[in-house]
Amino acid sequence: MTEDRLESALRLMHHALRLPAALWRGEACSLALPEGEGAPPACAQVADQFSRLTAGRAEQLTDGHSRHFLALRTAAGAVIALGPYARAEDGATPPCPAPTLNDEQSQAAAQAMAQLLAPEEAGPAGRPAEDPKLRENMSHTFIHPPFFLEQELAGAIMLGDSVRAKRALDEINRLERARVADDPLRSLKNSLIGSCALCSRAAISGGVTADAAFTLADEFIRAIEDRHDAKALNALEEDMVISFSAQVAALRESQVSSIVRGAMRYIDDHLSDKLRVGDIARQVYVHPDYLSARFKQETGEGISRYIQRRRVQEACRFLRYSAYPIAQIAGYFQFSSQSAFTKVFKQYQGMTPKQYREWGPAGAAP
């Protein structure tokens, strides 16, 4: 079997089965999917077991940590490996999230591997004929979402690497999207809103404040709802991935230290709790006085004012998207009373909470 034929089979199995895939010749991996920048394929952990594989038969391997792989040795000695995946029957969670297959699915994958790589009657131009329904059947058998590609996308955004993020998005979009609504356009919009949630949380993990990430997410969700054709929506998804990656990259290039970013992240995660400078400082392993001075120096804003401003910003979301009473929202964000909340809210928003709820952020009656 030629190198081109092996690579073609590998790519077909990778996209149809939605599992990482790798092609090995001897002790070296010549192709790993999804493609990365120098990252070793996940199946490298079981490469030492390839030597005992029987040619032409797909066999299940394990790394000893509840992660499984399917590997098949060709007659020429090359090895195609798929995985990692978790076995549904094991009931154990592998150290890193992975797609879960039951026995029926893993057996179907093994049969598909053997069928793809088995010698077949030559078709036009001397190439082996392929079953035209094979890919469709494989795709219908494996309908779980591509977790590993979502991890690749999220990881790239966390690093602020827009090139790598775009490549992961392209890999995802080669697959058929899950249908999450009867109307195709509504289904696509719902899918993109889910992607937006993934991107925003990846950006937060990369150090972006929740306020900045969610503000950007709100902008994209509004844009998604405003688009009315699939082409425009697909272009918007690419802009979304690049924008969140750029948001992280800009933060990494800024003068805000990891100490201050860590403090901001802790504050954003605990806006409804009582927040004391001492408690925040312990989370970033510095003295409270040092944190206060560093925070003011780098952001131009004291910690108490930052907490107050962020609580008002989050309260705006509750006012716009919930029916909770204003007094209850005030108490949730640790304001001593509704009147105290109203006074602080007006300082930042230029209107009372009641006016904001009735008129929205534009500040004028509709």
pLDDT at position 257: 84
pLDDT at position 141: 42
pLDDT digits (tens, 9 = 90+) for 263-290: 988 898 889 999 999 999 999 999 999 9
Mean pLDDT over 258-262 rounds to: 87
Domain spans in the chain, listed from the N-terminal domain onward: 3-141, 147-253, 258-359
Q: 3-141 domain in CATH 3.30.450? A: yes
pLDDT at position 314: 86
Integer Cα distance of 360 and 312 in angstroms: 14
Radius of gyration of the chain (CA): 26
Identify the residue with better confidence: 132 or 289.
Answer: 289
pLDDT digits (tens, 9 = 90+) for 64-77: 777 888 888 887 78
Q: Topology of domain 258-359, per CATH? A: Arc Repressor Mutant, subunit A (1.10.10)
Q: Global pTM?
A: 0.43
- Check pLDDT > 50 for residue 147: yes
Integer Cα distance of 260 and 348 in angstroms: 22
Mean pLDDT over 202-215 rounds to: 84
Contacts of 333 (CB under 8 A, 6+ apart): 271, 272, 311, 314, 315, 341
pLDDT at position 318: 86
**Average confidence score pLDDT of the chain:** 79
pLDDT band at 143 (very low <50, low <70, confident <90, very high): very low
Torsion from C-alpha of 212, 207, 192, 173, nearest 10 degrees: 150
Phi, psi of 87 (to 5 degrees): -85, 125
- Check pLDDT > 70 for residue 244: yes
Identify the residue with better confidence: 300 or 287.
Answer: 287
pLDDT digits (tens, 9 = 90+) for 17-64: 667 888 888 778 888 877 654 445 667 778 888 888 888 788 888 887
